[in-house]
Amino acid sequence: GAVVSQHPSWVICKSGTSVKIECRSLDFQATTMFWYRQFPKQSLMLMATSNEGSKATYEQGVEKDKFLINHASLTLSTLTVTSAHPEDSSFYICSAGGGQHDTQYFGPGTRLTVL
């Protein structure tokens, strides 16, 4: 199957700082990528759909000014958590595919801890 990578795999930051998470599709071009958030022992919550060359589509209740998404190329999408607070601590997972593609491939996830 296709390979999707994320970087970093974990990050610890101070409250008020910004953190950037990268998601790369390593062996295929992804016009669409997805960002999910997962709380402990819970399912994935879709945050936004990242579209190459255009604005991301955010799900209801997700602050677009806090979670900045940039999809500058067919293999890279970034999620920036701005002015992070402890409640933003979570496991963030990206995926590529879906939409018109039948299978969605997931990155390994990034664990964010905000102190």
Binding positions for other proteins, rule: CB under 8 A: 1, 6, 34, 41-44, 46, 49, 93, 95, 98-100, 102-109, 111
Half-sphere exposure of 14 (CA within 13 A, CB side): 2
| Nearest distance, CB of residue 15 and other proteins, angstroms | 24
Looking at the Cβ atoms of 19 and 48, the one nearer to other proteins is 48
At closest approach, how far in Å is the CB of 88 from other proteins? Answer: 19
Contact between residue 110 and residue 36 where contact means Cβ atoms under 8 Å apart: no
Give the other-Cβ count within 10 Å of 92's Cβ.
Answer: 23
Q: How far apart are CA 53 and CA 110, in angstroms?
A: 24
Shortest Cβ distance from residue 16 to other proteins (Å)?
Answer: 27
